[in-house]
Structure 1
Amino acid sequence: MKKVGLVSVRNYNYGSILQAYALQQELFAAGIDNELIYYKKRNVVKQALRIFNLPLLMAKTKDVWRVIEGKTNPKLKPIISGRNRAFSNFLKDNFVFTPCLSGKKQLVDYTKKFDAFILGSDQVWNPMLLGGDYYTLTWVDSRRPKVTYASSFGVSEIPASQVKKTKEYLSRFSMISVREKQGAEIVEKLTGKKAEVCCDPTVLTDRKRWDELSGACPFVSEKYIFCYFIGNNPSQREFAKKLAQKTDCKILAVKHIDEYIKSDDDFGNIDYLEVGPKEFVNFIRYATYVCTDSFHGTIFSIMYNKTFFTFKRFSDSQKSSMNSRVKNILSIVGLSNRLFENSITPDAALAYQVDWSDVNKRLNDFRKSSREYFERAVKCLKGAQE
C-alpha cells in the first residue's frame, strides 16, 4: 500500500501544529499510511514576487518593525530559544515526515510516490498568506485524488484580485470541507460546489488523545489564569490583571513571539520558558481561567469546559479580519456570549453562566457530522491506494 501525502501547516504555532498532529493521527487510526510533507519555503524569487501581493503588503508592512524588534529583543531571546527547542522536540517525537524537500522540483519528484493527497486545516487558503501555490496543490497531477479536511480561508471574503486564482485551484479538489460556514459560502459562490463545514482536527480527535498527550498532572501547581494573546491590545491584558486580583490567581502568560508587543512586557508572574504544544494543552487543561484571542485557545478551553474569556483580535470592519473562525465555533456550540468586547469588566464577564452539558452535546454533534465526512474522505483516499 502506497502512502498518502498530507499537506498542512508546519510552522512553530500551537494551533497549526496541534491540528496537523490530530489529523495525521486520525489518518493512521483509519488505516491511512501517510507522511506530512516537509516542504521548505519558496525560493528567493518567489519571496520577492510576494511584494506585489497588495493585500499581503498592506497587512505586513506595519508589522515588520515589530517582528524585527521582537527577534532582537533581549527579553524575548530566552523565550524564543526555549520555545523553539520545545517545538523541535515535539515534532521529532510525534510526526512522520517526508525528507526535507527544498524547492518545487524536489517537491514534485518526491511526491510522485503518493497516490492521493489530503490538505489539512488551519488557514491554508488565507489570501494574505497564500504566497506561492503550495496549499493550492496545483503542483499535484490532476489525475490524483485530492481532498481537503476543514481547510480555512481565515477571512469572510476573497479579494477581487484573487478570485480567479481561487476559483481555479478549488475546482481541482475531489472533495472539499471547510472549517467555517463563511468558507463554504466562498466555495459555493466561486465554484458552485457544496463544501461541508467540519470541525477542526483538534476537535475531530477524541479528547482522550489530548489527555494522554498533556499528561495526568499539571505542570504548574499554583492556581492560575492561562493567557494567550496573539494581538497587541493592552486592554485585554488589563482585563486579565483585574481578573487575577479579583480571583487571587497568578497569571501564566504564553507570549506571542513572532513580533514585539509592548503590552507583554512584564505581563504574567509565572515563568515557563520551554512551552511547546504539549505544555500548551496542559496549561489550558489545568487552568482556573483562560483569557485568549486565539482560535485554538478557545477550542481547547471549550473541550476542557474551562471558564474562558475570548476577545476579538481584529476589528470586524477590517477586510482582513479573522474573527469569523472564532465566531463560527462559538456559535456552533451556543457560546456566542463568550466573545467579549474590550470594555468588559471581570465582574460582568463572570456573570455569564455556561450550560456545559448543552455545549458538550453540540460539540459532539458537530464532531459526529464531521467524522461522517472524514470517513467518506478516507474511502476516497483508500480507493486511490488500491
Structure 2
Amino acid sequence: MTNLIVTISDYTNYGNRLQNYALSRLLSDNYGETTTVRFQTRLPTFRHKLIRNGRKIAGRIRTHIVRGERLLTLQRTRKCLAFTRKYIPDDRFTLTDYSGLKAAHGDIYDRVIIGSDQIWNYNWINRRDLELALGSFAPAGCPVISYAASFGVSSIDEDAQAVFKQYLPKLKAISVREFRGAELVTEMTGLDATVVLDPTLMLTANDWKTITEGFVPKDDKYVLTYFLGHPSDEQEKNIQEYAKKHGCKIRRILDMRDPQTYLAGPQDFVELFSKTEYVFTDSYHACCFSMLFHKQFTVFNRANMTGKSSMNSRMETLFRLFDLESVMMDAGLAPTIDYENVDRLLAEHRERSHAWLAEAMHN
C-alpha cells in the first residue's frame, strides 16, 4: 500500500519542509510506504522559480563567482534541497497543471493524502492547480483524504468556491488545520471537517532531535528570533534588552545580519529551537517548535496591527487549542507558559488526531 502526499513543494521554506517530513514519517510509521509528489505549481516570483528549478538554477549560479548575500542564499538553498533528497524525496511522481500526475518509473499509488500547509490557498496557484490540490487527478476508487489542510485565507471568492464545491465532496474524509477552515468547508459544501494538529506537532521532541546534525556549537547561549514580518523599533529593543539581561547573544533565522544562522537548513532550524534560551517570533511553526521543546516565547504582533487583529487563523487555532492567547504581544514579554498544561493538551489533541487519521485511512 503506497500513500501519496500532495503538498506545496516549497523547498526553501522551513515550515513547509518540516510539516512534509512530519506527515511523511507519521504515515510511513503507521500506514505503509509513503512518498511525496513534486507539485510544480505556476508561481511567478523568482523565489518560486528557484523552488521549481532549484538544481538547474543552482548549477548556473555555480558557473559564476558569487559573493555576499547571493552566496549565502545559494548555500542555504543547497542545504534545503539536500534535506528534501535525504528525508522526503519527491522524484517518483510529478504533478503539473499541463500534464497532471506523471510517474517517473511507472510507479503506482493506492491512497492520496492532501496536506498540510496552505495547500488550498488559491491566491498562490491557478484554477487548474487548485483542482489538482483537491485530488482531481486521482482515478475513481482511489481514496483521497486531507490531513491538516489549510486555506490560508478567511474568505473565498466565488470562482474558487466553485472549485471547492466540485471537489471537496469527493474526498473520503476532510481534516483541516484551522477552525476557520472547518467553517469554510461547511459553508461551501455543508460537509463536516475535523480540526487536527499540524503534522509537526504529531512528532515528539525526541523524534525531532534525531534529524539534528550539530549545527549549534556547544555552550552557545542565545536568544532566537524568527520573523516573517519586521519587528518594530520597540520590539527590537525588547529583544536586545532580554538578551543583555540574560547574557545571551542573538541568533536571527533568515536575517542577513546573522550570516552563520542564515545558512541553517530545515534540520538546523529544529536544532536552533531545541537549544535556545528564549524565542521571539511572529511565525506559526516557530510557535510549534517552541512548544515541543518547552521554550518560553513571545509572539510579536505585525507592524501596524495590534491585539487580536493581527492574529491570523492558524495562530488563533493554535493558541485556542493550547490556552496560549496571552503569548501574543504588541511589545514586552509574554507571561510564563505553563508547559504542564500544554503537554496535557498536546497529548489529548494528538490522541484525537491519531484517531481521526486511523479512521480516515481505514479502507
Aligned pairs for 1:1-386 within 5 A: 1=1, 3-11=2-10, 12-42=12-42, 75-99=68-92, 101=94, 103-104=96-97, 106-110=99-103, 113-131=108-126, 132-133=129-130, 134-214=132-212, 218-219=216-217, 221-235=219-233, 236-255=235-254, 266=257, 268=258, 271-313=260-302, 323-341=312-330, 344-345=331-332, 349=333, 352-379=335-362, 383=363
**Cα shift at 1:154:** 1.7
Task: Give the match's secondary structure for 1:108.
Answer: strand
CA contact (8 A) 2:113 2:144 kept: yes
CA contact (8 A) 1:314 1:322 kept: no
C-alpha separation between the residues in 2 aligned to 1:212 and 1:295?
A: 22
Q: 1:222 to 1:34 in 2, by over 3 A?
A: closer
C-alpha separation between the residues in 2 aligned to 1:321 and 1:354?
A: 21
What code does the residue aligned with 1:306 have?
K
**1:134-184 C-alpha deviation (Å, 9 max, x unpaired):** 312222234321001010112222234422222222222110000111111
Q: 1:201 to 1:333 in 2, by over 3 A?
A: same
Q: 1:339 to 1:374 in 2, by over 3 A?
A: same
C-alpha separation between the residues in 2 aligned to 1:218 and 1:128?
A: 37
- Where does the alignment leave 5 or more consecutive residues of structure 1 unmatched? 51-72, 256-263
Q: 1:182 to 1:220 in 2, by over 3 A?
A: farther
CA contact (8 A) 1:19 1:202 kept: yes
- Where does the alignment leave 5 or more consecutive residues of structure 2 unmatched? 46-65
CA contact (8 A) 1:313 1:323 kept: no
C-alpha separation between the residues in 2 aligned to 1:161 and 1:103?
A: 20
Task: Give the match's secondary structure for 1:141.
Answer: coil
**CA-atom RMSD in angstroms:** 2.7
Task: Give the match's secondary structure for 1:76.
Answer: helix
**Cα shift at 1:215:** 5.3
C-alpha separation between the residues in 2 aligned to 1:227 and 1:14?
A: 14
C-alpha separation between the residues in 2 aligned to 1:105 and 1:118?
A: 21
Number of residue pairs aligned between Structure 1 and Structure 2: 334
Task: Give the match's secondary structure for 2:264.
Answer: coil
Q: 1:16 to 1:34 in 2, by over 3 A?
A: same
C-alpha separation between the residues in 1 aligned to 2:89 and 2:82?
A: 13
Between 1:281-290 and 1:77-86, the stretch displaced more is 77-86
C-alpha separation between the residues in 2 aligned to 1:109 and 1:18?
A: 25
CA contact (8 A) 2:35 2:89 kept: yes
What code does the residue aligned with 2:268 have?
E
